[in-house]
Structure 1
Amino acid sequence: METQELLVRRAIRGDEDAFLQLIKMYKVDLYKTSFSYFRNEEEALEALQEVTYRAFKSIRKVKEPAYFKTWLIRIMINYCNDQLRKKKREVLNEEYLASQGISETHEGLEIEEALLGLDQRSREIITLKYFHGLKIKEIALAMECPEGTVKTWLHKALESLRLSLSEKGGK
């Protein structure tokens, strides 16, 4: 089996089979990301289709093959945010949190509510860091900003989350 980087290089050169293999590798991550925004299977699948199309059309813009997954998830996040802005709603998926080990208990609902209370950028950074396991460098690349800025934003997001949770728990 070929490595991701080799597949990306082939896809950039126009190899459609390589592109399809890459999409198959990351379709679950893309679906989970879209589902966490929309909480609706139909919308999540539509997002997956649209992002696959957009990625195919702009594959030549990938600068660093090692960060293909980050690039792909960023396209999904941008698409989801655009769609939510159009609908004027923001949501986070309970099943996605549950899949990350946070159950639908009182505690899980508090965490979900606290995440919903964060601003969009804070939710994005926490999603990329803790739900997708990206490194600060990868998040910086995806968000097109310096690593130090991502660290600052992440710190502030976590502080806001802690504050929100401590207020709810009375701790």
Structure 2
Amino acid sequence: MDLPDLITQAIQGDREAFIRLIREIENSLYNTAISMLRKEEDAADAIQETILKAYKSMHTLREPQYFKTWMFRILINECNTLLSRRSLSTSYAEVPAEHQAQPSPYDEVDMREAVDQLEEAKRIVIVLHYFEDMSLRQVADTLGLSESAVKMRLSRARKDLYQKFKNYREVKLHVKPV
């Protein structure tokens, strides 16, 4: 059975169709949640709430072709809710220095780590567009932004990533083996 049929069945209340839909996108949901929240337990909570809210309101989805965008919008809202609760309870400055991640230019850098270090607004557009393969229009719809705003954030994020890798390479070239 193809995705549009599953979505239609889920909208009509078919629980099994909904479960199959969630299984289709669960890795994408997880990757997005973990890139925003950076904590396994928070990501799991956000995904659980997202699935519950989506299941309860599946019948309200008017345009089945936007199912994935709709799910990601719910997820991003849940992540933002968790982030705002987290910022109210603990600020970064209150965390003891020995527990704060200290990035080192000598650590091995990969693309996912570099993306995870971007500020949230840039990180989420990179994750949705490149890692989740959403079109610019889908990213814009998911985040409630214009396409030009998404393009600008992608451009700034790519510039930051380029600079990060350029700096990393320069450090690697100037470090002499001991």
Bin the TM-score by the shorter chain: 0.7 to 0.9
Aligned to 1:148: 148
Could you say which residue in structure 1 is the equivalent of 2:113?
112
Q: Report the AA paired with residue 41 of structure 2.
A: E
Inter-partner Cα distance in structure 1 for 2:73 and 2:46: 13
Deviation per CA, 1:6-57: give whole Å up to 9, x if none: 2112222222222122112222222232233344433332222211101112
Cα distance in 1 between the residues matched to 2:142 and 2:152: 16
Counterpart position of 2:20: 21
TM-score (norm 2): 0.72
Q: Contact 2:35–2:123 at 8 Å: present in 1 too?
A: no
Structure 2 gaps, min length 5: 93-106, 172-178
Q: What does residue 127 of structure 2 align with?
A: 127
Are residue 139 (structure 1) and residue 139 (structure 2) matched? yes
Whether the 8 Å CA contact 1:140–1:150 is kept in 2: the answer is: yes
Kindly provide the amino acid, as one letter, of the partner of residue 46 in structure 1: D
The aligned amino acid for 1:121 is A
Q: Is the aligned partner of 1:37 residue 2:39?
A: no
Task: Give, in angstroms, the shift of residue 168 of structure 1.
Answer: 4.1
State the alpha-carbon separation in 2 of the partners of residues 68 and 23 from structure 1. Answer: 10
Q: For 2:74, give the aligned amino acid.
A: I
Root-mean-square deviation (CA, aligned residues, Å) is 2.6
Identical-residue share of aligned pairs (%): 33
Which residue in 2 is equivalent to 1:158? 158
Amino acid at match of 2:113: E
- Structure 1 runs (4+) deviating above 4 angstroms are none
The yes-or-no answer on 1:72 pairing with 2:71 is: yes
CA shift, 1:115, in A, is 4.1
Counterparts in 2 of 1:84 and 1:17: CA distance versus 1, 3 Å: same
Matched, 1:62 2:83: no
Is the 2:115–2:126 contact (alpha carbons within 8 Å) kept by the matching residues of 1?
no
Please give the secondary structure, in 2, of the residue aligned with 1:170.
Answer: helix
For 1:60 and 1:122, how far apart are their aligned partners in 2? Answer: 32
Q: CA separation of 1:63/1:119 partners in 2, compared to 1, >3 Å: closer, same or farther?
A: farther
Amino acid at match of 2:142: A
